[in-house]
Structure 1
């Protein structure tokens, strides 16, 4: 490295240092050596088009550590986050601050998947058809119409009055299949295409993982023209990538997609003479076949290997009938394709779905795992690649760009092999940055003794007995995190009459509302499963206790996981130590990370699972959670909270 390069990499660190512009201009900015080290590593990765894995402990300030070198690089950079909420936070809060401090004259753009944008064509269709809506939906439609006249971006996030789960949203947004593209009469004002045009002209584009992979893997979101020319892809919350990549390299078909197509076909008939006479019967037959197939799947587990479907004669027959009806409908739609833009689109969709169904039902290669999933009123069929390393490697090579993967949880006791192997990252640069928080003073880890084996029938009851005196000591203010919904429901039942604090139970309200009410309550007890283990941020005294019921091993009912474990075993790798333990360690680190979110937080982490101390692999888990003092004595927990109370 020559002297010039040396001063440059020092500069990006210095910008974030005590004498730099961030310390001068942002009142609550605290210089951190770990943040400066990460900024230098990201700068070098972008310049050298390298692959970097950077684990940055909570409180490192990783967002600024990648934004500063990204904005200074003079290159086109795509930044991808785990959720739309994080995407909005990055785009509307963090990026403007960094741009302003650096005085960077850059074009930035925010891009989400098309389901987030109002579709003017489908809104128009729904308004015309509005007589069939019940009262709540009719009122929501009026709200959406009024908003559509004033919105510039058409992003659903702007309209909090219509709940995210409203069944009206799918009717006024488009999917890749039903979008009419340049044929659409509203094309010139289309929010999706406006957002894409802005992204094409931008230096920094903020996307989310769903969108990025849908496009890189499937060319599904149609912004393929935005990605070429990017010099760097920065993936925040990168621990989510292996699972997501599996979804996006899968072939899949759902009952919902076919039902939507059937409904759109009937809606399109209203404007075309004679079409309903031709199409009503085959559409109804298709909907009937979907119901019949779902009914035939009823006795089976909620998800499982495709072989379970093939073993049942009535499921085989229903799948065959569905394929025949889909092919017939595609042919009939071909005869109408010239008559309207909508029919041309529906003909394409039916052909695509027929092909996909055939591919999933008839694939017999050993590269894919075929499986199904059922929902209360529907189902989905999948073919997922057994090994993601090869497609991921190919995808990165095509971009010829730097790839930066960052998260607070990517390593297992400092080792990145598990993460790197899943994504086919060969000899990446790696960086492990400790959190700046003083865990020795701010936190305590309690490993209660005397709990039974986690498979014991009364395990959840015993966990609640153990946790009650801890809740008394903390005066509520707790997250209780569970590895299954069954345990969560049992715990909620047991706590209902035993505690004086308000209980917030996952599933009783949307996640953002539960969190808001939990924060406001000051002494609440929140019970959550998988989605509360990560991406949830409660700073301050409202959250002073995190309890984890069991080590978060993936459920053995996942057909893709089972096939991967079998393949590992065949290749001579112990699947338990080579896959299940590392995955569970990363999930546990996420859950434990909810506790300390700032320099001033104090709290206790309770890890109930006795395997932490009775099994050899327990040491790996304990070596991976933040370095806090440990105790097996309830008295130490009570003393910790007494001290916290006195120091308030």
Structure 2
């Protein structure tokens, strides 16, 4: 393919314009497709920022399908993965007439495990009525599903406690010795992926596989000549998770539960296993209680300062080692016991490593959950492992998202991933922001640290909501501010309120769209990946600049390391990261060429601090105002159009 061939395919006289209704040829899309085609052919590293509405999905799928190479496309979320595989990919294949094998591959927790379903049914545990009906629904579905992808079964919600019981983890999978191996959904999905020319995965799976490959477990994903990472702004944080060593209360209690379950039908096993299992469970419970006095997350030295926590942690290590020895004595009696022994030995080694090995390359830290905890050792610098990973793959690496640059520069993103000399491409959105949008900076708001800040934000936003007749997203940087704003708005506005946490995210969005004039209040997960085109969303309010929480121990250690290297950590890390997060939130406003809307940025630091200019310079080119009258005029104009 030549550059002009790629452009022609996506051009005004090309097959996409002829065959797809509503397809609009875009110069930016064609430019990106040419850059992706070149990157694949030359095995380049490309960073392509494509503004909302560029059509980046087609811009990478067309050259990927025509390249003749094996390509892995990775997305930020499972929802985007499904949309790409079931909606976009079939259209592009059809237009191109591409006779290629494609496959969808998710992490194993997304697939029904027939062995664990069978075990759960046999155990006959006393489930409550809801769980029993969900188990019955899963059993009925298991008889008819071909893929075993739990996304197919919408009637059992994603957060149901039944799913962990009927799906497997890498640790508890029995592999080829499983009695259901021939029908295993995970094995089938992986086999299809290994035979496919183009595989659609998500970042979680991609990095889990690449990290495992590092440890010599062999690769799940086929060796590819090109990796295309969509929603690439999420990659630095996710990569950090997968290059970490971690151990959690949940892993330990599941190990105990599985070891006990394996005693069924094995003579004398329960007499040996029950006592060490119960002791470990109790020790994990005591450790969680001892951690109660500590902040939700923090550096490891906080644990070491408490004698109660130190003793509880010592007991968990001792009892895990004791259980490992008992399981070793039973390992030859069943594949399940052998598996439980391997897990116990792995967890024991990992726990010892996290507790004992303090080195300068890692940040050791903990986090607490309502009923559990996790201990981690995370690399301080991801650039080195990421660089090694790319060198081993010898492939093209294409990173794309609407939000990768800070005031037009890609240095922050490239530095995090160790991209030394990438090809970069910045493509403006085709939307006419000057006509379609207005940015309102409410005057006279106090510093965000003021005690009554959220009250003042709500007061400033109410007249905007009246001008727009609802139809708004209010995005908050903390759940506390979100809850306070919901209290303040309750009873003061005539429109329905949709508050994050009161229903699953997808249902809130569906109800918000259907309401026509709703007001949705959301925190972190609503800042990105939410697409509400049309009149249902005409206002996006952002309460504060989204600086990362100062209690993040990994961030704190990175900032300290930057300071020691002579780099200003605030301007060198915190501001660029917050700019990229802000761009994600702003991106919710204008989703197609017909949208019109007002962006309300409440944080006065945009005007009062020097770094505020960097945030404003990174936003789409829309007019700005501090006059409420301009906002009212904007919406008055909308109603007369």
TM bucket (normalised to shorter chain) is over 0.9
**1:364-383 → structure 2 map (5 Å cutoff):** 364-383=358-377
Q: Where has structure 1 moved over 2 Å in runs of 4 or more?
A: 218-229
Contact preservation (8 Å) 1:214, 1:221? no
| 1:237 correspondence with 2:226 | no
Contact preservation (8 Å) 1:336, 1:343? yes
| 1:154 correspondence with 2:148 | yes
Change (3 A) 1:208 1:159: same
Contact preservation (8 Å) 2:209, 2:219? no
2:457 corresponds to which of 454, 463, 468 = 463
| 1:642 correspondence with 2:636 | yes
Could you tell me how far apart the structure 2 residues matched to 1:352 and 1:528 are?
39
Paired position in structure 2 for 1:564: 558
1:59 corresponds to which of 39, 44, 53 = 53
Change (3 A) 1:511 1:222: farther
SS for the counterpart of 2:190 is: helix
Residues 177-206 of structure 1 show CA distances to partners (whole Å, capped at 9, x for unaligned) of 000001101000000000000000000000
Paired position in structure 1 for 2:290: 296
Could you tell me how far apart the structure 2 residues matched to 1:138 and 1:487 are?
38
Residues 405-432 of structure 1 show CA distances to partners (whole Å, capped at 9, x for unaligned) of 0000000011000000000001100000
Paired position in structure 1 for 2:267: 273
The two structures, once aligned, show a CA RMSD in angstroms of 1.1
Distance apart, 1:227 and its partner CA: 3.8
1:505 corresponds to which of 499, 506, 518 = 499
2:132 corresponds to which of 135, 138, 144 = 138
Paired position in structure 2 for 1:594: 588
Distance apart, 1:341 and its partner CA: 1.1
**1:315-464 → structure 2 map (5 Å cutoff):** 315-464=309-458
**Structure 2: runs of 5+ lacking an equivalent:** none
Distance apart, 1:223 and its partner CA: 8.8
| 1:630 correspondence with 2:624 | yes
Could you tell me how far apart the structure 1 residues matched to 2:451 and 2:154 are?
43
| 1:126 correspondence with 2:114 | no
SS for the counterpart of 2:546 is: coil
SS for the counterpart of 1:269 is: coil
Residues 43-71 of structure 1 show CA distances to partners (whole Å, capped at 9, x for unaligned) of 00000000000000000000000000000
Paired position in structure 2 for 1:257: 251
Could you tell me how far apart the structure 2 residues matched to 1:291 and 1:146 are?
36
SS for the counterpart of 2:142 is: helix
Could you tell me how far apart the structure 1 residues matched to 2:254 and 2:214 are?
18
Change (3 A) 1:490 1:583: same
Distance apart, 1:26 and its partner CA: 0.2
Distance apart, 1:96 and its partner CA: 0.5
Paired position in structure 2 for 1:3: none
Paired position in structure 2 for 1:555: 549
Contact preservation (8 Å) 1:67, 1:98? yes
Contact preservation (8 Å) 2:194, 2:222? no
Contact preservation (8 Å) 1:176, 1:221? no
Could you tell me how far apart the structure 1 residues matched to 2:138 and 2:95 are?
37
1:194 corresponds to which of 175, 188, 195 = 188
1:86 corresponds to which of 56, 80, 83 = 80
Contact preservation (8 Å) 1:110, 1:199? yes
Distance apart, 1:620 and its partner CA: 0.5
1:543 corresponds to which of 509, 517, 537 = 537
SS for the counterpart of 1:30 is: coil
Distance apart, 1:449 and its partner CA: 0.6
Q: TM-score, normalised by structure 1?
A: 0.98
1:97 corresponds to which of 91, 105, 108 = 91
Could you tell me how far apart the structure 2 residues matched to 1:238 and 1:332 are?
45
Could you tell me how far apart the structure 2 residues matched to 1:543 and 1:185 are?
52
Contact preservation (8 Å) 2:213, 2:219? no
Paired position in structure 2 for 1:10: 4
Could you tell me how far apart the structure 1 residues matched to 2:41 and 2:355 are?
46
Distance apart, 1:500 and its partner CA: 0.6
Change (3 A) 1:222 1:30: farther
Residues 373-397 of structure 1 show CA distances to partners (whole Å, capped at 9, x for unaligned) of 0011100000000000000000011
SS for the counterpart of 2:2 is: helix
Change (3 A) 1:222 1:606: farther
Residues 263-287 of structure 1 show CA distances to partners (whole Å, capped at 9, x for unaligned) of 1111111221111111111100000
- Between the two proteins, the alignment pairs up a number of residues equal to 641
